Amino acid sequence: MASFPATGVCYYPEHWPQSQWASDAKAMVDAGISWVRIAEFSWAVIEPSPEEFNWQWLDDAVETLGQAGLKLVMCTPTATPPKWLVDQMPDMIAIDADGNPRKFGSRRHYSFAHQGYRKESQRITKLIADRYGNNPYVQAWQTDNEYGCHDTAVSYCASALNGFRRWLGQRYGHIDALNQAWGNVFWSMNYRHFDDIDLPNLTVTEANPAHALDFMRYSSDEIKSFNLEQVEIIRAASPERPISHNYMGMFNQFDHRIVAQDLDIAAWDSYPLGMLQNMQAAARKDAKLEHDCLRTGDPDFQAFHHDLYRGMGRLWVMEQQPGPVNWARHNVIPAPGAVRMWSWEAVAHGAEVVSYFRWRQSPFAQEQMHAGLKLRDDSDAPGLAEIKQFNREIKNLDIPQNTQAPVALIHDYTADWMTMLDGQTEDFHYLRLLLDIYGAARENGATVDVIGPDDNLDGYQLILLPALMHVSDDLAERLEQSSAIILAGPRTGAKTEDFQLPENLAPGPLSSLIGATITRVDAMPRHLPVKMKWNGEDCEVSVWREEARLLSATSDNSENPLMTTSNKARYLLGWADQTTLKSVLKSALEDAGLTPHDLPPYLRVRQRGKMAIFTNYGPLQVDIPESYKGEVLIGDRKIDPAGVAVMTLTD
């Protein structure tokens, strides 16, 4: 039996009497769990007063859990600095965009830019790393917790103002370069010195988007350096243990790739039902999806994030929803089987560990209505049985290593920020567009890697780059040299690095590859779609449509073509409906020499080597298409709602 895939759980010994720890540990092991994450919110328990420490409970907890056979993920507790620390330096508190302090009383009450808090973060990290760095049970680390959660990636505090000015000085060297890059001449916004520059909040109308973009870049860099300070201390004190951070779903407020460069594991916290609600609110997904998938989640959302974070490191799910949560607009019970299905899907996408949040439902404070694997009276929560089944299943199966996919989808945080800052229609939502196109690939059975714009393109047969707002010359060159089919657009190459329009119009450096330039964009309300032509037929396009001047490219002979083609390069001129996108991707996969499958609604599949793992997010039983040949290892070719099937494919 390999050590991965495996399951874990988030545990808070400080919530429970010490007498209960050993039986909890045993019950975890009995359920097939092998990893436990601890201590990420425990600073005030460890250090109840300045320099007055209480390590005993944590020593004991580590020992008890480890002795039971569990491997520990130890955390730095910097997401929740104690009240006494805040009172020592009240200006460590972040300031919101309205200028209000973001006070103590919940969590993440600090500014990444505050140098005093940086020192404290390093002090507590060093204490924990030194104490547990070589502990045999401590097998991995997590820095802090959910960087940026609750809009904490940015702060409009004095520390950030100073930091931003310094950062701009370093980036631009001379204030004239900044004025030119931002186009400050536009509204007499020219600065004479870097210290003239304010943070981009509370301006009369929207700030210069280049100003806002640089503030997001700066804020991202602060998170990177905050994280790196902890990483360097842990690496020194705890060699060979991998270090992780737990990212989130649908979260774009810092550039995760630059943070992930300094880590080993790219973990994330997967809450399918809460995220379905949040996506509905943020991106107005259609009502049918909410109806059909209320208790299973969006069929592509989890998969996309697995692929996204796997592109940044070893993939773990650090927190997996095990039942209803408490923080979404509505918090429903998962469909029977959904917890197991989500777990299988994580493994399908290469997760080493699926760790559930949390062992036992806490009786108090903010998340008391968030399920655990155990009820408050220590009886089993319904999710636990599914986790036990999943543990039995993965233990008995030889799961191949994950391998490179044939299809790459390029995702970029800067692109996301640029669409936010220059949306042209309220209904444009970068992640939704990517999910539509990613989902269209998956509806054809494709296995996809999500990569960054600087990542290696070798080996891919099809490369998708929707709304990659800025395309660097380097990427343009690598795309030209690639033998893959390229499917770009809409909105690809629409901006320079400085957030300006490219001199040669969009798609900028891709113009010769694409063989067309974009002359106008039509930014529409989602509820008023228009017709374009795909394969000679009408298709429906909403939110976004472009008009092109064809250079070397061709399009079908219609007035309003959805796509242009120039050799290996295709460009989508509109955000088409999902049926059309599925057809577009089918055609692209075929052109790339790949074999599409025609999956029924809500059925998804991912291959891990020769193993194909099917998940049914829909409300109806569905059949695995005949085109999949091979042996069914788990489940059946008929898959129930929230069901799973695992096959070994023959070619």
Question: Under the criterion CB under 8 A, does residue 503 sit at the interface with a second copy?
Answer: yes
Residue with tokens 């049926």: 579
329 and 290 Cβ atoms separated by less than 8 Å: no
Q: Which of 47, 319, 352, 443 is catalytic?
A: 319
Among 42-50, 340-348, 384-392, 614-622, the segment contacting a second copy (CB under 8 A)? 42-50
Question: Under the criterion CB under 8 A, does residue 289 sit at the interface with a second copy?
Answer: no
How many angstroms separate the CA atoms of 2 and 401, rounded? 11
Angle of helix 301-310 versus helix 272-283 axis, rounded to 10: 100
Of residues 527-546, which lie at the interface with a second copy (CB under 8 A)? Answer: 528
Question: Under the criterion CB under 8 A, does residue 1 sit at the interface with a second copy?
Answer: no
Question: Under the criterion CB under 8 A, does residue 196 sit at the interface with a second copy?
Answer: yes
Question: Under the criterion CB under 8 A, does residue 631 sit at the interface with a second copy?
Answer: no
Query: Which of 135, 500, 512, 552 is the binder for a second copy (CB under 8 A)?
Result: 500
Could you tell me which residues come within 8 angstroms of residue 161 by beta carbon, excluding any fewer than 6 positions away? 198, 199
Query: Between residues 277 and 587, which has the closer beta carbon with respect to a second copy?
Result: 277
Q: Count CB-CB contacts under 10 A for residue 547.
A: 11
Instruction: Report CA-CA distances (Å) from 603 to 261, 531, 614.
Output: 34, 28, 7
Which H, E and C letters describe 25-49, residue by residue? Answer: HHHHHHCCCCEEEECCCCHHHHCCE
Query: Which of 6, 9, 27, 45 is the binder for a second copy (CB under 8 A)?
Result: 45
Query: Between residues 529 and 635, which has the closer beta carbon with respect to a second copy?
Result: 529
Question: Under the criterion CB under 8 A, does residue 48 sit at the interface with a second copy?
Answer: yes
Of residues 86-115, which lie at the interface with a second copy (CB under 8 A)? Answer: 87, 94, 98-109
Query: Which of 91, 232, 264, 522 is the binder for a second copy (CB under 8 A)?
Result: 522
Please confirm, yes or no, whether 480 is among the known catalytic residues. Answer: no
How many angstroms separate the CA atoms of 563 and 232, rounded? 48
Q: How far is the CB of 146 from a second copy (least distance, A)?
A: 11
How many angstroms separate the CA atoms of 227 and 205, rounded? 34
Question: Under the criterion CB under 8 A, does residue 169 sit at the interface with a second copy?
Answer: no
Please confirm, yes or no, whether 146 is among the known catalytic residues. Answer: yes
Query: Between residues 1 and 528, which has the closer beta carbon with respect to a second copy?
Result: 528
Question: Under the criterion CB under 8 A, does residue 183 sit at the interface with a second copy?
Answer: yes
Question: Under the criterion CB under 8 A, does residue 229 sit at the interface with a second copy?
Answer: no
Instruction: Show the binding pattern over residues 329-358: x = contacts a second copy (CB under 8 A), - = does not.
Output: xxxxx-------------------------
Among 45-53, 240-248, 391-399, 456-464, the segment contacting a second copy (CB under 8 A)? 45-53
Query: Which of 166, 376, 392, 395 is the binder for a second copy (CB under 8 A)?
Result: 376
Question: Under the criterion CB under 8 A, does residue 42 sit at the interface with a second copy?
Answer: yes
Closest CA to 519 of 488, 478, 551, 481: 551
| DSSP states of 362-400 | -SSSTTTTS--SB-TTSSBPHHHHHHHHHHHHHHTS-PP
358 prior amide bond cis, ω within 30: yes
Question: Under the criterion CB under 8 A, does residue 291 sit at the interface with a second copy?
Answer: yes
Query: Between residues 179 and 472, which has the closer beta carbon with respect to a second copy?
Result: 179
Closest CA to 446 of 462, 458, 430: 462
633 and 613 Cβ atoms separated by less than 8 Å: no
Closest CA to 127 of 66, 69, 70, 42: 42
How many angstroms separate the CA atoms of 126 and 409, rounded? 39
Q: Which of 40, 47, 120, 146 is catalytic?
A: 146
Question: Under the criterion CB under 8 A, does residue 218 sit at the interface with a second copy?
Answer: no
Q: 13: number of CA atoms within 13 Å, CB side?
A: 26
Instruction: Show the binding pattern over residues 293-322: x = contacts a second copy (CB under 8 A), - = does not.
Output: -x----------------------------
Query: Between residues 200 and 337, which has the closer beta carbon with respect to a second copy?
Result: 200
Query: Which of 323, 350, 490, 507 is the binder for a second copy (CB under 8 A)?
Result: 323
Distance separating the N- and C-terminal Cα atoms of the chain: 27
Query: Which of 8, 297, 324, 561 is the binder for a second copy (CB under 8 A)?
Result: 324
Q: How far is the CB of 191 from a second copy (least distance, A)?
A: 6
CA 198 to chain CA centroid, Å, is 30
Say how many residues touch a second copy, by CB under 8 A: 108
Query: Which of 119, 123, 150, 392 is the binder for a second copy (CB under 8 A)?
Result: 150
Q: How far is the CB of 34 from a second copy (least distance, A)?
A: 26
Of residues 52-91, which lie at the interface with a second copy (CB under 8 A)? Answer: 77, 80-84, 87
34 and 6 Cβ atoms separated by less than 8 Å: yes
Of residues 379-438, which lie at the interface with a second copy (CB under 8 A)? Answer: 379, 381-382, 422, 424-427
Query: Which of 264, 367, 540, 640 is the binder for a second copy (CB under 8 A)?
Result: 367
Could you tell me which residues come within 8 angstroms of residue 233 by beta carbon, excluding any fewer than 6 positions away? 122, 125, 126, 129
Q: How far is the CB of 276 from a second copy (least distance, A)?
A: 11
How many angstroms separate the CA atoms of 359 and 373, rounded? 5
Which residues form the catalytic set?
A: 146, 319
